[in-house]
Amino acid sequence: MMPSRNTLGMLLALACLGAPAGVRAQNPSSPAAMPGLRVDPLPTPNSGEWSRPASTHRQALFPQATKDGRYWFQFIAPNAQVVQLDIEGKSYQYKKDATGVWNVFVPYQGPGVKYVTVYVDGVPQPEPGTHMYYSNGWKSAIESPAPDEDYYAIKDVPHGDVREHWMKSQVTGTWRRMFVYTPPGYDQSPGTRYPVLYLQHGAGEMEQEWTHSGLANYILDNLIAEGKAVPMIIVMNNGFATRPGEPPAGLRPPVNLATPAGQPLGYQPPPRPDPNAVSAFEEMLVKEVIPDIDRNFRTIPDRQHRAMAGLSMGGGQTWTIGLRHLDTFSHLGMFSGAVFGELKELPEPLKDAATFNRLVPVFFFSSGDTGNDTQIHAWLTHIVDMSKAAGVNAIFFNSPGTKHEWQTWRRSLHEYAPLLFRK
């Protein structure tokens, strides 16, 4: 099933209590606050309540955070009139102190990566103390704590490596970068060969974000150390590919600085759909990337030891490419996969359930169940229900309380990876 132009357009479009008076969230759907913020007088970084989190870069003192996930942001702009903080569509108002420093306190935002933008008299700025992540462009982000979810923490276990690997593509006529995770002990065991997971990002990301935002390497390090996952190589490619002479895939329309009515602060229009993005990437992946990885890494170069998965657009690519290339892949995972609409009938490979189950021991779907993953959740559960009714061994994982976001996809990888290469 090749996605239509309309499908790709939809696909690419995906990509308070406790705060002081005057700093409350303007959006009533903000998460409930954790215990109240002590703000009068202003808390100090050495009060014992606040400390620099890991998402604050080494040359910055702010933002500060509490262990339960409340944040204190500062911004120096003595001549500004209004300073606002946007956290994924929720707006908070800074207050200026006597020295011209602006402060804002925000309640717990829920677990995982949260993108933040500062608006100074209406002009968007990066939050100066945070690290930058790629999500439809470079954005500042904080890491909000996740109680009882330490599977992506850096633990005292053997760690693998993430390598930057380049390949000259004849399909695109360009050099292509990919990131390759090799499991713990790879260099110390030159006689060992490994299965491979090809793991794709979504329409808003690039090839580095599965280890940068998604922390896929730590997830696998921990699973392998616990004996829950088979040691494997993970290959992460840029999912946008075009042939020479074609318009580049994933381009955005010209920037409109005005925020459309009804859109959250910081809204950006989605990238232009490109009907050739999947087909060029498919050819490059199957004909060039996989042979290149098999030449340059110690893989087990057969379909039984090759999996594919992806988030959002990458999930749609997995659905399309994986089902067309069952001679290449044996395990498929669609995380919030861009497989749009209620199917009237299953694709051809799924109609022979016995053969499909033999060829594909893991046929995995997942999504969040809130926000902008709600409709995807409905579409994917419909596919799973149809598949099961036909005798196909489909699996669905629900990520409770999360939307189209990295916490959904971290959880999905954590559930998917232990299933791979067991048969």
What tens digit of pLDDT does each residue of 384-423 get?
Answer: 999 999 999 999 999 999 999 999 999 999 999 999 999 7
User: Would strands 101-106 and 138-144 be described as parallel, antiparallel, or unpaired?
Assistant: unpaired
Q: How far apart are CA 284 and CA 306, in angstroms?
A: 16
Within a domain: residue 4?
A: no
Domain containing residue 294: 155-419
| Nearest alpha carbon to residue 234 among 317, 160, 176 | 160
Within a domain: residue 150?
A: no
Q: How far apart are CA 117 and CA 142, in angstroms?
A: 11
Within a domain: residue 13?
A: no
To the nearest whole percent, how much of the chain has pLDDT over 90? 75
Q: Which residue has the tokens 């290149």?
A: 292
* CATH code (residue 66): 2.60.40.10
Q: How far apart are CA 362 and CA 303, in angstroms?
A: 13
Final residue before a domain boundary, out of 144, 179, 194: 144
* CATH code (residue 396): 3.40.50.1820
pTM equals 0.86
- Tell whether the model's pLDDT for residue 161 goes beyond 60: yes
User: Would strands 362-368 and 394-399 be described as parallel, antiparallel, or unpaired?
Assistant: parallel
- Are 113 and 261 in a shared domain? no
- At residue 245 the predicted structure's pLDDT band, cuts being 50, 70 and 90, is confident
DSSP-based three-state secondary structure for 399: strand
Report the mean per-residue pLDDT for the chain.
Answer: 86
- Are 291 and 189 in a shared domain? yes
Final residue before a domain boundary, out of 102, 125, 144: 144
- Are 129 and 164 in a shared domain? no
> For the segment 61-113, what is each residue's pLDDT rounded down to a tens digit?
999 999 889 999 999 999 999 999 999 889 999 999 989 999 999 988 999 99
Query: How is the beta sheet containing 331-335 ordered, strand by strand?
Result: 161-169, 174-182, 233-237, 196-200, 306-311, 331-335, 362-368, 394-399
- At residue 147 the predicted structure's pLDDT band, cuts being 50, 70 and 90, is confident
- Are 325 and 176 in a shared domain? yes
Final residue before a domain boundary, out of 144, 173, 192: 144
User: Would strands 196-200 and 306-311 be described as parallel, antiparallel, or unpaired?
Assistant: parallel
- At residue 28 the predicted structure's pLDDT band, cuts being 50, 70 and 90, is very low
- Are 185 and 114 in a shared domain? no
Within a domain: residue 6?
A: no
- Are 50 and 89 in a shared domain? yes
Compare 31 and 92 and report the one with higher pLDDT.
92
The Cα angle at residue 151 between residues 113 and 190, in degrees rounded to 5? 110
| Nearest alpha carbon to residue 316 among 385, 237, 239, 382 | 239
Compare 332 and 251 and report the one with higher pLDDT.
332
Q: What is the mean pLDDT of residues 203-224?
A: 96
- Are 179 and 328 in a shared domain? yes
- Give the model's pLDDT for residue 12: 40
- Are 160 and 254 in a shared domain? yes
Residue partners of 330: CB distance under 8 A and separation at least 6: 303, 304, 305, 306, 307, 359, 360, 361, 362
- At residue 53 the predicted structure's pLDDT band, cuts being 50, 70 and 90, is very high
Within a domain: residue 215?
A: yes
The Cα angle at residue 376 between residues 271 and 320, in degrees rounded to 5? 70
- Are 124 and 184 in a shared domain? no
Q: Phi and psi (nearest 5°) for 71?
A: -120, 145
DSSP-based three-state secondary structure for 163: strand
> For the segment 264-304, what is each residue's pLDDT rounded down to a tens digit?
444 455 554 444 445 899 999 999 999 999 999 999 999 99
Q: How far apart are CA 35 and CA 46, in angstroms?
A: 19
- Tell whether the model's pLDDT for residue 27 goes beyond 60: no
- Are 199 and 285 in a shared domain? yes
Counted domains in the chain: 2
- Are 110 and 167 in a shared domain? no
Cis peptide before 28 (omega within 30 of 0): no
> For the segment 5-19, what is each residue's pLDDT rounded down to a tens digit?
333 344 444 443 223
Q: How far apart are CA 326 and CA 27, in angstroms?
A: 46
Structure tokens at 395: 């699996």
| Nearest alpha carbon to residue 407 among 74, 121, 142, 30 | 142
> For the segment 219-237, what is each residue's pLDDT rounded down to a tens digit?
999 999 999 999 999 999 9
- Tell whether the model's pLDDT for residue 251 goes beyond 90: no
| Nearest alpha carbon to residue 136 among 267, 29, 47, 287 | 267
Within a domain: residue 5?
A: no
- Are 72 and 29 in a shared domain? yes
Q: How far apart are CA 100 and CA 394, in angstroms?
A: 58
Within a domain: residue 7?
A: no
Strands (E), 121-160: 123-126, 131-134, 138-144
